[in-house]
Amino acid sequence: MSHARQNVLAQILSYMANADNEQRSTKCGSCELSRLGSSKVASASSNKKEREETKMTLYDELVARGLIAQVTDEALIKDLINNGKATFYIGFDPTADSLHVGHFMALCLMKRLQMAGNKPIALIGGGTAMIGDPSGRTDMRKMLTPEQIQHNVDCFKKQMARFIDFSDDKALLVNNADWLLNLNYVELLREVGACFSVNNMLRAECYKQRMEKGLSFLEFNYMIMQLSLIHI
């Protein structure tokens, strides 16, 4: 073989060797990139799965915030709340002409549940306010006139409308005076009073703390008026 041909053959072999090395390097690089890419995809998938597993439901949020004290049939209630199918009520006694900071928590809860599709009922105690809640009191509440109570009810309605959307039947605002004030006392005693035990009523904390200073018969009827709502 001539010297010229040897040089050409050497150049071809050298070129082929370099090309083979580059191809191997590219393959290794591709394998490495592929491995890193798969690792990142797997990591992202794992993180997404973890986020989904740790995603807090609305009911879980309420529990975490300490807003669930007692519950019956938790599975059913959890399903209703999480799927926006619950209808619930919170009561407000109109003993003053303005809601106070203590009502703010209840209104925030109502708003949060409504945002998730649940339907709130704001129950204003225009009827029960005629008696007065004895809870947390060392003496009897000042008796309000029907006119004063109605004024307070009107004020409550305006303030609640700033938090709760009452349009298109998304929420209800009702006043228990609409049915409590029309009750017949004898019928109430027969239909509702017969279901109450005086012994159990006296064990209630709101009554126990008033036994020393005295509890009026008017206030003693508050519990019956409240629970008569359920009976009705």
Q: Which residue has the tokens 């009107």?
A: 154
Q: Report yes or no on 31 lying in a domain.
A: no
Please, which pLDDT band fits residue 79 given cuts at 50, 70 and 90?
very high
Stretch 64-75: mean pLDDT, rounded?
A: 91
Asked whether residue 99 is domain-assigned, the answer is yes
Share of the chain above pLDDT 90, in %: 36
pLDDT reported for residue 8: 46
Among 30-39, 156-165, 182-191, whose mean pLDDT is lowest?
Answer: 30-39
Task: Using pLDDT thresholds of 50, 70 and 90, give the confidence band for residue 33.
Answer: very low
In a domain, 8, yes or no: no
Tell me if 152 sits within 8 A of 130, measured CB to CB.
no
Q: Who has greater pLDDT, 3 or 204?
A: 204
Q: Domain containing 197 — which CATH number?
A: 3.40.50.620
Q: What is the pLDDT of residue 140?
A: 66
pLDDT at 165: 94
Among residues 64, 83, 102, the one where a domain terminates is: 83
The whole domain housing 45 covers: 38-83
Average pLDDT estimate for 82-108? 91
Residue 180: inside a domain, yes or no? yes
Domain boundary among 48, 83, 118: 83
- Integer angstrom CA distances of residue 11 from 3, 20, 23: 12, 14, 18
Would 198 be classed as within a structural domain? yes
* pTM: predicted TM-score of the whole model, two decimal places: 0.64
Answer whether residue 19 is part of any domain. no
Structural domains counted in the chain: 2
Task: Please say if the pLDDT value at position 204 is more than 50.
Answer: yes
Asked if residue 189 belongs to a domain, the reply is yes
pLDDT band of 227, cuts 50, 70, 90:
low
Residue 59: pLDDT over 80: yes
In angstroms, the first-to-last Cα distance of the chain is 116
Q: Looking at the structure, do residues 78 and 193 belong to the same domain, yes or no?
A: no
| DSSP letters for 52-118 | HHHPPPHHHHHHHTT-----SSHHHHHHHHHTT--EEEEEE--SSSS--HHHHHHHHHHHHHHHTT-
